[in-house]
Amino acid sequence: MEKLPENRIGEKVCAGGLSPKIIDRVPKKFIERYIRSINVHSPSFEKWILEGGEPFIGMISRLELGQWQLDQALKAGAKLEDKEEVRSVDLSKKQSKPEKAKNRGITN
């Protein structure tokens, strides 16, 4: 269940950087460029520079990755209910269905 319409799944606040742990699990065609260092700024104004010598972070379009992930999930048998917002989940039952919001699907 996803509140966004199908063609916007994957669109999210994200810089689109793939770390070395995950980079081999994504098709190479999605990697637009590689970078060799990143600056990390913490909420307490600390700053780190992470450098790997060789380029070690792959940059992707988060929307393209999300659309590919969706395709993989659908091919594996997942059923998509897009434009549906989950309002609550009852964890007290063994198998519970999420409660949908009424008429709250995002259409833009």
SS (H, E, C) 20-89: CCCHHHCCHHHCCEEECEEEEECCCCCEEEEECCCCCEEECCHHHHHHHHHHHHHHCCCCCCCCCCEEEC
Q: Does 70 bind ligand FAD (CB under 6 A)?
A: no
Q: Does 2 bind ligand FAD (CB under 6 A)?
A: yes
Q: How is residue 14 written in tokens?
A: 């994200």
Q: How far is the CB of 97 from ligand FAD (least distance, A)?
A: 13
Q: Does 3 bind ligand FAD (CB under 6 A)?
A: yes
Site string for ligand FAD, 17-36 (x = CB under 6 A): x-------------------
Closest CA to 12 of 57, 88, 75, 67: 67
Site string for ligand FAD, 76-95 (x = CB under 6 A): ---------xx---------
- Interface residues with ligand FAD (CB under 6 A) are 1-4, 12-17, 85-86
